[in-house]
Amino acid sequence: MARELGIKIARVPTLSSYPVAEYAVTMMLTLNRKTHKAYSRVRNGNFSLEGLQGFDMNGKVVGIIGTGKAGSLTARILRGFGCQILAYDALENQAFRDLGGRYTSLEELLSSSHIVSLHAPLLPATRHMINRETIAKMKEGVMLINTSRGALIDTRAMVEGLESGHIGAVGIDVYEGEEELFHTDLSGLVLRDELFKQLMSFPNVLITGHQSSMTDSALESVAQTTLMSLRQFRNQQPLRHEIILG
């Protein structure tokens, strides 16, 4: 219809990868040191340390699935904690190698990593790449982080992994059914997504509503790119980020 009406469509090609990488590491630290639980306890006058024990990040093996810019930046941050970094990607990134990371098979990454962080794009080949079979290959008590695309994970398989205790903690900023949930205030309604309700019932699961890229600089970049497209259209110039309709 846009083509028939002569309407041009432009996009914002990419948000900054720095906020996403920082957010992925934030989720790891929050789940590990349980700062979200400590915050709630202290506000209620509970200063008990029971159940708040974490682990040293130093020396832990973190598996990065997808070493584009966000994945490589996540690895760079984690190197500062003294983590050992493994990666799996069909396209290897020299920037990741320069950090001292090592590419390996998916099987070795899953079996060796204390933390698995997803940064792969959603493609037919990556849809539900985290499933019953791949979860079974992970370390007992693994922490799983996803700030990329919700459908990389088979949610039902993840719930089963949490129920069995094989998965020790989950941090997700994306969810495969998020279109019906995220970016909307549903606080006065009954949620009908049974899998999502199951996920929220676990004390070792941290869910946020796709906010990893929501920083002042990232939003400013979106605004500037959008305004640039409008100026180019007004001045009858080629749109730098135009979507060419077939």
Catalytic residue selected from 178, 231, 234, 241: 178
Q: Quick one: average pLDDT of 1-15?
A: 76
Query: Catalytic: 4?
Result: no
The pTM for the full model equals 0.92
User: Taking residues 61-68, what's their average pLDDT?
Assistant: 98
* pLDDT value, residue 13: 76
Instruction: Please tell me the distance from the alpha carbon of residue 76 to that of residue 87, in angstroms, as a whole number.
Output: 12
Q: Write out pLDDT tens, residues 165-214.
A: 999 999 999 999 999 899 999 998 999 999 999 999 999 999 999 999 99
Q: Which of 79, 210, 241, 242 is catalytic?
A: 210
pLDDT digits (tens, 9 = 90+) for 101-143: 999 999 999 999 999 999 999 999 999 999 999 999 999 999 9
CA distances from 185 to 181, 191, 199, 200, 215 (A): 8, 11, 19, 16, 20
Question: What is the helix (H) or strand (E) element at residue 231, kind and residue range?
Answer: helix 216-234
User: With 90 as the cut, is the pLDDT of residue 83 above it?
Assistant: yes
Please determine, for residue 217, whether its predicted confidence score (pLDDT) is greater than 80: yes
| pLDDT value, residue 2 | 66
Q: Are 88 and 113 in contact (CB under 8 A)?
A: no
Q: Which of the four pLDDT bands, split at 50, 70 and 90, describes residue 227?
A: very high
Residue 64's DSSP bridge partners are: 87, 117
Is residue 149 part of the annotated active site? The answer reads: yes
In this prediction, residue 156 carries a pLDDT of 98
User: Which of 76, 114, 119, 149 is flagged as catalytic?
Assistant: 149
pLDDT at residue 218 greater than cutoff 90? no
- pLDDT category at 246 given cuts 50, 70, 90 is low
Residue 240 DSSP symbol: T
Tracing tokens 């094989």 back to the chain, one arrives at 166
User: What does the mean pLDDT of the chain come to?
Assistant: 94
**Residue 241 among the catalytic residues:** no
Give pLDDT, residue 31: 99
Residue 6: per-residue pLDDT: 72
> Does the structure show a pLDDT above 90 at 97?
yes
Q: Confidence band (pLDDT; 50, 70, 90) for 244?
A: confident
Structure confidence at residue 1 (pLDDT)? 65
Domains of the chain (ranges, CATH numbers): 1-16+215-246 (no CATH), 17-44+57-175+191-213 (3.40.50.720)
The more confidently predicted of residues 66 and 4 is 66
Interval 70-92 mean pLDDT: 97
Confidence of residue 153 (pLDDT cuts 50, 70, 90): very high
More confident residue, 235 or 4: 235
Distance of CA 53 to the CA centre of its chain: 24
Give me the sheet containing 115-118, strands edge to edge.
102-103, 84-88, 61-65, 115-118, 142-146, 167-172, 205-207
Six token digits for residue 38: 């400590």
The span from the CA of 242 to the CA of 237, in Å, is 11
